[in-house]
Every structure is written in C-alpha cells, then in structure tokens.
Amino acid sequence: MLRPGSTIGILGGGQLGRMIAMAAAQLGYRCIAYSPEKDPVAGEVCADMFTNDWHDAKAMAAFAQKCDVITWEFENVPVEPIVPLGKRLAMDPRALETAQDRVLEKRFVEGLGGRPAPWRAVDDRADLTEAVERIGTPGILKTRRDGYDGKGQWRIASARDAEGFSRTGTPLVYEGMVRFEAEFSVILVRGRDGAVRFWDSPHNVHENGILATSTLPAPAIVAGQVEPARALARQVADALGYVGVLTLEFFATRNGPVFNEMAPRVHNSGHWTIEGAATSQFENHVRAICGLPLGDTRTVGSAVTMENVIGKAAATAHKALSDPDAHVHLYGKASAREGRKMGHVTRIRHD
C-alpha cells in the first residue's frame, strides 16, 4: 500500500491525466507527469512536469527516480522506452502493446473467445481487394496504429470506393460494418490482488467517430448483453494481469455483443462516474495502482447523462451551470480546434 504523500508518475499529459491527478490529490498523493507535449493540461494540476521525448532515456530515468508508482493516461505511449521502468509501472506494458495495434488486439480478444466485427489486415492493394471480396461492403478501413476519435478511419461503401482508395501503404485493417442497435462500454477496475469491480455500462453515442454522449440507464438491448461483455472484459484483464481501470467498447447487435476495441486506461465513457457513481473511475484507478481497497462502483441517482463539450462549444459550456443537475468540467485547453474534446457536462437526476 502506497503511503499518503507518495508520488504517482503519469505518462501522458491530457485530460485523463489531469482527472487522475485531481483524484490522487484527494487521497493525499502527489502526481508528476511526463509528456513530449508543451503545456499539457495535466501539468496544471501536477506537482512537476517532464517535457521530454518518449525516447529520451535519461529524462525517463530521472522521472522514474521521482516516482513511487507509474501509470499511463495515453494509449499511444511507445512501449520500448517504458519497459525499463520495470516494477514501478503499475500496469504491464503488454496491455499497451495489445491495444496499440488493432490486429494484435482483435487476435488477442478472439483468442479469449470474444467476437469482433469480421476483419482482415490490409498491407497493400491486393489485400484490400481480397478483404472487400471476402467481407463485402459497407466496411471501414482503419489504420492499425495511432487512430483515435475517428481519425485514421475511412468508410468504404462499395467495391469502387475500395478501388479508388489511395492510402494503402500504411498498415490498415478492414472491418465489415456492424449493424448495431446501440454501442456500450464495459468499464472495470482490477486491484493488485486480482479483485474486479464493474461500473454500470453506459449507452454511448458517437458522432463522426467521436463520443458525444454516455447515458444511464442503458436501453434494454444493452442491459441484456452486459453479462457476456463483462465476462470477456474480465478475461482480458486477468490475461494481462492488469491493474487499474480497463475499458472495452462493444456494439449491441441482434446476435449479441460484438467487441469493438479496448482501452487499457480510464475512459471518456466513464467520466460520468465522477458524480454518478459512489467511487469514480479516476479514484478507483488511483486506489488500484496504489494497492488501496477498491471503492464501491454503484451508480448514484436514477439517470445519468454525460455530454462531451467539443470544439467551440467550450466557450458557452458555463451556461449549463444554471441547471441544478449539471456538473461542468473543462480541461483548460487553450485552442478549441474542431473535434477536440474540451470538457464534459454530467447531469444526474435523482427521482
């Protein structure tokens, strides 16, 4: 168990790190962050900040020296430079390695009995033609690595679209389009002792590949598919010897849950837990990596809606403060680029 006053190192400097640091402060820990990005939003709430390249081994070692335990908030932290962090790293870098590559991720989940959308790896034009022939259209081409918030994705409506696609050359994956009734996520926390707790699964709505809202209670189709989805998520967490918050995203279909992707970290679809659950995903992540007892994950209130504040909407987000049910979170990002997650608003009903 990590003593109060100990230092948690966070790899990455985004809003997830910022909210981890805020939860850690409440439990008496101090956080320092490491990110190549200048002025990251987590830096504002951390005691110290390393602004260095991921591959700067000297800086990484100096950072590690100052930390009692290390976690990540960013999924695309390169694995190689963090392997030397060894036991100080609370989570196994295998989790990152798996989640960073859509092909490894799908194979891993299939190996555990999970069912992703039909897919094929696409390394060149011939692969693409074959993938479209085998799987059919419509489908989605995604970069194997580094995609997020709908970036690095192209919809393929017809074989002719595939013929006109000019970006083969980067490793891609082609997925059949899933006709889903709803999307949902399973958010769990696993302690150092292997104990697992789940939050209620929210219904997630994406717009242009970006999460727009997460709501609870989820519709009946989701509620009916949470159990097998949880069983898979637990297997993933156990197989990785995972510690902390882990998220799996699913499509609820007429034929049961279809695995979409996993995130070995706290997740946007779990932001509602800050006010909507007895213990938030951020606090339980801190508890898990510090070896503290996990907190109750029960939902408080009868209905919860988390709405992301995207791009320019941040300028007027404070308007929601006049709603007594609303909790406004802004991440302190300087530029409101289109499609950028600037904050979120959670509304809780108690009736």
Provide the binding-site residues for ligand AMP, judged by CB under 6 A: 117, 140, 142, 147, 150, 175, 177-178, 183, 206, 209, 249, 260-261
Furthest CA-CA distance within the chain: 61
Nearer to ligand AMP, 93 or 139 (CB): 139
User: Which residue bears the tokens 């403060």?
Assistant: 321
Burial of 175 (0-12, 13-18, 19+ CB in 10 A): buried
The least CB distance from residue 271 to ligand AMP, in Å, is: 16
Which residue stretches of the chain are H helix? 15-26, 57-65, 93-100, 102-111, 125-135, 159-164, 220-223, 226-239, 273-276, 281-289
Burial class (CB within 10 angstroms; exposed 0-12, middle 13-18, buried 19+) of 149: middle
Minimum Å gap between C-beta 260 and ligand AMP is: 5
Which CB, 225 or 297, lies closer to ligand AMP?
225
Q: How far is the CB of 249 from ligand AMP (least distance, A)?
A: 6
Instruction: Name the residue with tokens 């990110």.
Output: 35
Decide whether 143 or 168 has the Cβ nearer to ligand AMP.
143
Q: Minimum distance from CB of 206 to ligand AMP (Å)?
A: 4
Residue 108 CB, nearest approach to ligand AMP (Å): 16
Smallest Cα–Cα separation from 247: which of 230, 227, 263?
263
Q: Which CB sits closer to ligand AMP, 189 or 258?
A: 258
Measured from the CB of residue 137, what is the shortest distance to ligand AMP in angstroms? Answer: 12
For β-strands 172-176 and 30-34, DSSP reports them as: unpaired
For ligand AMP, the nearest residue by Cβ is 178
Question: Exposure pattern of 307-345 as b/e (b: 16+ CB <10 Å)?
Answer: bbbbbeebeebeebeeeebbbebebbbeeeeeebbbbbb
Choose between 170 and 302: whose C-beta lies nearer to ligand AMP: 170
Nearer to ligand AMP, 49 or 252 (CB): 252
